[in-house]
Structure 1
């Protein structure tokens, strides 16, 4: 719909889009989506442009708020230079610089507007808001209705008869984590500012605006300003009668000559110009049909497949007959229209209609930006004395308003314990830019009598918890404001218990993990030291340790502010320093598809929890105790004396001193080693004493860790057990769990399965276990490209029988179980780099025979040996290997001078891409599962993840439907990123308890 001259009058609908604001909103929405949509194939950021084009197409085709535009203007700020700078040089002086990967998209936005046949409206000396105000005034004078597309509070002064604002929010009304679109009428303005639109300027002049550096009146916020304007009518009357105000501070703020001068200056800064000399006339904003081919050519060059296809369908154009616009096509490595990648350079552009966009694309260098951010992070020192303790609702409102304006806020919660499902919220910290952070204490208590978390009086001056959360909730749930935290899952869980949802999010712990898994730990203190050169205050320094522990609720407010605000400040700095590395090191997809979505997924799972049968666990504890007593008597009989089975020293003396068994090893302390591997080696050689010790140890662990301990993990509020999943705890991407640890319950022996029986479904429900079948072997077949294995999986035949037949020449039909067992041990052992010694122990055969098996295996499947050799070479050279989904797994200790260390890490590197890919696949399944179940209309919920298994709870009547959805999502999880050459298979069953379902 190109612009053309078209009269404006009654019945006209003039749409005025605040392009500058829209750009930022599109950007922050784009970074929450699948990373593959946010970059062109040459890594030029285009995610915001894509969403901008999508919304622009909606405006020109469908309109908004129940109206279709007859006239449309996309209005931008041309530069920071405006007449306001002339009257107040510090105006907007504190604005933070835009995100690095948004900068090259600014000129592309304007190019997109032109591609739609529209003219980007921008003028020297005037801001976009002034042009919007002028167009709105002219349109109303001619009797037209005006829709201002923006959520900017500064434009609310324009709302009135025939003029409303439209906030498109996320564009996905009702979506999880999004805010629905809304209209801003006079009622909404009154709700926001406390005054009608014609009084907004007076309120803003008094309250000022820290984001734009508008000074206002000292100590007066929006609510106080609204009260004053209500009482006195307008700003001039207020200033005239200010000497009679009773409150001394307020009177001084409104009567001091210099203060009054700043207030009147502030009014000049916030009041919009309604008669700017427009370079493009209102009548020239009329809409007609666009040049569809020109639009498609631009969208093709941007690689926007979906919207390109939609435009072609809408306007009846075959997109395959339209070449990408050469002005916006890169020089090399570009993805052609048929989806193939060519390494040959493309012809140079034949024209330069948009030189700014071309220049921005060419200049974008993620590695340069990342280096610059790193240098800036190290240069900006942290000063805890600058942090603010926020005690009043009015001051909190100002911080929140500034956070809305900034579009990014870092947060952290302080609590009474590390259990997010039972702790109490003590306070919340915010950071808006490096060095600008605050702490909002909510439930700090006086030192003295009472328990650690209650009993004592609340410290005076704090806001009531409900008051603060009522104000913070809209900010934390605002779809256009990005929330940054370190280990965000904890904060999500804590705030969810208070009815607050946090979205959209960024997690600096996971950004670090996506970049440096295996290189270092990812705790906030360690990363602050590593990337910022700063030593954080430790929790123990402020809350005490050991006998001196007092808990954070008893920490004085000034000290609590230093600690809590520092955490938010550091998280924000780390985000600024580390985020650019994702693009520079091509790890954006890993973070945005495998890491960040897991935060909300796991938080939901942890909140759900699972039911346990306490009576069954009590019975098991008694059974285990009896079995341990029996084993203990047998062990003492074999030893010829009683001793402390829990003492490694006494056991070592019995094994290697008294009994003189072979395989003795000394620990660093000089004592005999009685580790599990030592005992297993002895047991594999037929030593019954060692076997009984191992059995006793396992029963002891099951009794203490599960049978006795699990009832203590039942949450008093929910009656369920809520495990905690750790995302950044392994090199390969596998999850771990704690409090309680559900990953280590043995499933290959009867005792471990009895523990699983104690995990049960709630009444009327069943538990469903969905488990990937032989996923690592399937991935080995794909990654190492083993034809025999790929064919076997494709034909769904017994892989272990097939291997035995290939190796030993034994027909599959009637194969002895022992032969298949040996093939199975080799299949799984090869993945973990098993040695002849290890296989010999596992199969209880001579080492020479085990070595012959391994040799024959590699002869039958040479691709596996090739894969292993190639992986060793890669890890030696790069100290890193990569999964098929792009996850980097670092092995820095490959540089060790110790040959045995290097050999160990080589073996680990062989398995890492396989185990890592399996972890990536189940993550992809998990992040899609809740939506798939909801879309199918099922009430089932995903409760647990254990290695390659997902556990669900579903109404009994929906069991089969749930299994079908779970199986489909899990088997299709690699798509579309990776199309495996072998099919994935998921075994799933429903039953009352976990063991029976598995």
Structure 2
């Protein structure tokens, strides 16, 4: 199907797909799938082509993120010999050759593009990224929007108003709460590089890129590069002023390797004016060439997608023969090796394992034995049982009670457990033996008032049977991210205990080695890629609820989840013991499932009137600022428009220091405006204030009321247990751990969090817990003595460093000591401290040097942590939690240096996180034992928030403080006392 050529213009949307990136991504996804789907009957490797075709079909049919393209280009690398090799012959010189089975699939990818009605775009001497950059700039100039389909960081330099990147790769996870896809805009670029997109090239020029063998400047990583570019403006300014840099090694490297930096910039900077062989007018997006696609797919033997396209287009498959040109001779591709069948024996776990020498009966050998046995048992989704009667369910319940453990998972209508309907549940008793119990699947007619699907179990009676398992103390329940299922069943008045959670078991043995979602764990440890959620429920506009999935398909998906979870548990229970992490799991991880589920279900009240009033105040203040901005600018313009703002600041007013993006638009990032404000310029300062106010309004005062649960009338945040390397919890939907409290406007938001009538909120906050942990682990006598005696720690530090008495100390001196105290924990640099205190970097560097001289134990601790991480690949908290840093072995010096700084901070932050976890695990029982009815509602890093009846507040405060202050005991007696400040009030801010 062809369309008349037409250049993009206003209102058009251009999709530029990084085809070369997708080739490799599809290949590495395919090797984690069943090998039967990766080869044609003549043994031609086709797994990557199949996944590529699925993505291509979806993009043509649906677009991405609800937007369809008017122009679409699939762009490939023509060869590795681009013009960059002429600049730097070693460019990409370290890249290994492509996998043998991928080589014959390269031309098939291009054949697929043609078969689907598109034209593959490639050009000699230029990389796909250069073609994408050129098409992007041309499209933006014409007024069109652009979506670049890729996750390649090199393309992030193109991000600007009207240009985003789309990464579909993150959506192949089935972990609850994960997002199926993500957009990459200016905020995501800043998060990755620490600079705005227009400065990415300069950062990459300094940091280099080991993947493409871009040299960069030795000793400078991305973080340092961002600091330097933000400080000096651009690469050339930095190199011209390199002699001003105080760090000797950094200064020498920049001066000595300035040429490498400039070469690196030419290597990473994308060409935006390629003389294109494929005109942009030819990128007009066609409809799908159904006949051509079917002929190609038939030749590839991709039956599922072939049938789908035929059904959608109304074509008869028998009328379209396979494309004869795609019958490739055997000599043109690598034949996939046959996989020998494993000989099996039975070990003590009852699992079949490949035969081999009988290793010594060590825990590590048991782990390998269990893993081999699990991998040897195939996944057969068509053998899972659908439970359609209470009698069949009773039989499974009886077997679970007899066995004493069962894997369990729920299927629901929502990721919000407190508002989700239970659609069904799955059980697994042994690897390969699982079932699904459908409860509330609806047929299409039910969407308009019809009936439910046939063959289901009565929900009320099924939950009664399920309760016999879930509440039986003699049966261990096994789940993955079990907090979600606990909340779901809590809405059914069912309590889940006792239990094991495979996500948390993975977290204690592999924290820092990737995420802990079920799909990734299955691929990583079992070599099996489970059915993706999108395969059963679709995505985008075609997304359906799980209650609309046919029961047979739902059984394959849901029962497989339970099967995978059981296998992971069998593996992890062996690993937890073998790696000595049982105590960590049982005291710091597992108890928090119930604790956090209870906190989330309780929620916290908000006063909508306060939020509405604050929204009005913020709106008025923003309007007032906007009027002042217009007056200073001498004209009215859209303050929220980066283009109009840039034209005013750097065009009309001629403020020096402005930089333009690739499209010629002035850059107006927050950093640029804050730098100008720091120079005393009023207009930028007011714009910064306006942005802060409007963000508070949109993110908090306007958004928080939308999170109120209609049944409870409260806001219920969701906590993630396994989201950070250090053990810190994270909060989302909404994030209540990130409400700003450093500004007056931010603190006002906390006044909207209120206690129920007749109650008060209690805020209990650890005082300087990370400094206390530092004093303990680094054994600093001065700090230990000060904490023991209750001395003002920051005043003491100032006295030690600056030789001034504590009595009558200048507040500014104390503030500087406080900034250093907390900054040292996070590895603050002289640059960062200088910015924080608004002092010269030389002065900030002198402060840090003096600090280490006065407290030498801190430097010893830092050196010890770096050495431990290099030797072991991990560091530990004071309780034994391991935090893995595999990148400590990186060959990139700057990356290693960054990881070393993480290794210094992690034991401190992680130990503090462990302490509050221990307190939370004991808190509910302590309150009940004291006869108190206070309820723990929130955790915000070092703070716990409770709701208590007014008449019980005075009795509750000491109990809360006692539990928190004694949380480290009896496992460990800290060298310094923990101190908790606990106060009560009618709203959160007053109690804080």
TM-score, scaled relative to structure 2: 0.62
- Report if aligned partners of 1:684, 1:842 keep a CA contact under 8 Å in 2: no
CA displacement at 1:877 relative to structure 2: 3.7
- Aligned with residue 974 of structure 1, among 965, 968, 972: 968
**1:444-481 Cα deviation digits (max 9, x unpaired):** 00114637xxx442112211110101111011111111
- Report if aligned partners of 1:433, 1:572 keep a CA contact under 8 Å in 2: yes
* In structure 2, distance between residues paired with 1:911 and 1:675: 30
1:748 alignment partner in structure 2: 742
1:515 alignment partner in structure 2: 509
- Aligned with residue 875 of structure 2, among 877, 881, 893: 881
- Aligned with residue 731 of structure 2, among 725, 733, 737: 737
Alignment of structure 1 residues 152-167 onto 2, 5 Å: none
Confirm whether residue 585 of structure 1 aligns to residue 582 of structure 2: no
1:776 alignment partner in structure 2: 770
2:491 alignment partner in structure 1: 497
Confirm whether residue 558 of structure 1 aligns to residue 552 of structure 2: yes
* In structure 1, distance between residues paired with 2:868 and 2:661: 33
TM-score, scaled relative to structure 1: 0.61
- Aligned with residue 431 of structure 1, among 428, 433, 445: 428
CA displacement at 1:875 relative to structure 2: 2.8
* In structure 2, distance between residues paired with 1:593 and 1:581: 17
* In structure 2, distance between residues paired with 1:987 and 1:851: 34
**1:944-969 Cα deviation digits (max 9, x unpaired):** 00010000000101111111000000
Alignment of structure 1 residues 607-622 onto 2, 5 Å: 607-622=601-616
Alignment of structure 1 residues 528-547 onto 2, 5 Å: 528-547=522-541
* In structure 2, distance between residues paired with 1:916 and 1:666: 42
- Aligned with residue 985 of structure 1, among 959, 967, 979: 979
CA displacement at 1:663 relative to structure 2: 7.5
- Aligned with residue 911 of structure 1, among 905, 909, 922: 905
- Report if aligned partners of 1:484, 1:575 keep a CA contact under 8 Å in 2: yes
CA displacement at 1:799 relative to structure 2: 0.3
* In structure 2, distance between residues paired with 1:668 and 1:733: 41
Pair 1:667–1:821, CA change in 2 (3 A): farther
Secondary structure of the structure 2 residue equivalent to 1:813 = coil
Pair 1:959–1:670, CA change in 2 (3 A): farther
Confirm whether residue 950 of structure 1 aligns to residue 944 of structure 2: yes
Alignment of structure 1 residues 8-19 onto 2, 5 Å: none
* In structure 2, distance between residues paired with 1:752 and 1:416: 35
CA displacement at 1:987 relative to structure 2: 0.4
CA displacement at 1:546 relative to structure 2: 1.4
2:779 alignment partner in structure 1: 785
- Report if aligned partners of 1:684, 1:841 keep a CA contact under 8 Å in 2: no
Secondary structure of the structure 1 residue equivalent to 2:419 = coil
* In structure 2, distance between residues paired with 1:669 and 1:735: 41
* In structure 1, distance between residues paired with 2:704 and 2:474: 42
2:412 alignment partner in structure 1: 415
* In structure 1, distance between residues paired with 2:973 and 2:642: 50
Pair 1:905–1:472, CA change in 2 (3 A): same
CA displacement at 1:661 relative to structure 2: 6.6
1:996 alignment partner in structure 2: 990
Secondary structure of the structure 2 residue equivalent to 1:767 = strand
1:401 alignment partner in structure 2: 398
CA displacement at 1:708 relative to structure 2: 1.1
Q: Gapped runs of 5+ residues in structure 2?
A: 1-358
* In structure 2, distance between residues paired with 1:724 and 1:866: 39
- Aligned with residue 388 of structure 1, among 385, 389, 404: 385
* In structure 1, distance between residues paired with 2:807 and 2:853: 23
* In structure 1, distance between residues paired with 2:668 and 2:869: 33
Aligned length: 634
Pair 1:774–1:657, CA change in 2 (3 A): farther
* In structure 1, distance between residues paired with 2:508 and 2:652: 51
- Report if aligned partners of 1:528, 1:534 keep a CA contact under 8 Å in 2: yes
Alignment of structure 1 residues 232-271 onto 2, 5 Å: none
- Report if aligned partners of 2:446, 2:452 keep a CA contact under 8 Å in 1: no
Confirm whether residue 604 of structure 1 aligns to residue 598 of structure 2: yes
2:798 alignment partner in structure 1: 804
- Report if aligned partners of 2:739, 2:746 keep a CA contact under 8 Å in 1: yes
**1:599-653 Cα deviation digits (max 9, x unpaired):** 0000011111111111111111111111122223334444555555445566566
Pair 1:611–1:373, CA change in 2 (3 A): same
- Report if aligned partners of 1:544, 1:551 keep a CA contact under 8 Å in 2: no
- Aligned with residue 766 of structure 1, among 741, 755, 760: 760
CA displacement at 1:748 relative to structure 2: 1.5
Pair 1:670–1:827, CA change in 2 (3 A): farther
* In structure 1, distance between residues paired with 2:867 and 2:900: 9
* In structure 2, distance between residues paired with 1:819 and 1:686: 24
* In structure 1, distance between residues paired with 2:834 and 2:390: 71
1:941 alignment partner in structure 2: 935
2:693 alignment partner in structure 1: 699
Alignment of structure 1 residues 91-240 onto 2, 5 Å: none
Secondary structure of the structure 2 residue equivalent to 1:503 = coil
* In structure 1, distance between residues paired with 2:806 and 2:491: 57
Pair 1:863–1:611, CA change in 2 (3 A): same
Confirm whether residue 479 of structure 1 aligns to residue 473 of structure 2: yes
Pair 1:793–1:515, CA change in 2 (3 A): same
Secondary structure of the structure 1 residue equivalent to 2:570 = helix
Secondary structure of the structure 1 residue equivalent to 2:556 = helix
CA displacement at 1:912 relative to structure 2: 1.1
* In structure 1, distance between residues paired with 2:754 and 2:575: 45
Confirm whether residue 367 of structure 1 aligns to residue 364 of structure 2: yes
CA displacement at 1:847 relative to structure 2: 0.7
Q: Which moved more, 1:515-524 or 1:945-954?
A: 515-524
2:374 alignment partner in structure 1: 377
* In structure 2, distance between residues paired with 1:657 and 1:399: 74
CA displacement at 1:792 relative to structure 2: 0.2
Q: Gapped runs of 5+ residues in structure 1?
A: 1-361
CA displacement at 1:797 relative to structure 2: 0.7
1:194 alignment partner in structure 2: none
Q: Which structure's CA Rg is the greater one? A: 1
Pair 1:638–1:783, CA change in 2 (3 A): farther
- Report if aligned partners of 1:374, 1:578 keep a CA contact under 8 Å in 2: no
* In structure 2, distance between residues paired with 1:367 and 1:651: 62
- Report if aligned partners of 1:925, 1:973 keep a CA contact under 8 Å in 2: yes
Pair 1:402–1:700, CA change in 2 (3 A): same
* In structure 2, distance between residues paired with 1:658 and 1:913: 52
2:788 alignment partner in structure 1: 794
2:439 alignment partner in structure 1: 442
Once superposed, what is the RMSD of the aligned Cα atoms? 2.2
Secondary structure of the structure 2 residue equivalent to 1:928 = helix
Pair 1:907–1:691, CA change in 2 (3 A): farther
Pair 1:601–1:655, CA change in 2 (3 A): farther
Secondary structure of the structure 2 residue equivalent to 1:951 = strand
CA displacement at 1:504 relative to structure 2: 0.6
* In structure 1, distance between residues paired with 2:798 and 2:524: 51
Pair 1:823–1:665, CA change in 2 (3 A): farther
CA displacement at 1:406 relative to structure 2: 1.3
- Aligned with residue 716 of structure 1, among 699, 710, 716: 710
* In structure 2, distance between residues paired with 1:522 and 1:659: 52
CA displacement at 1:589 relative to structure 2: 1.6
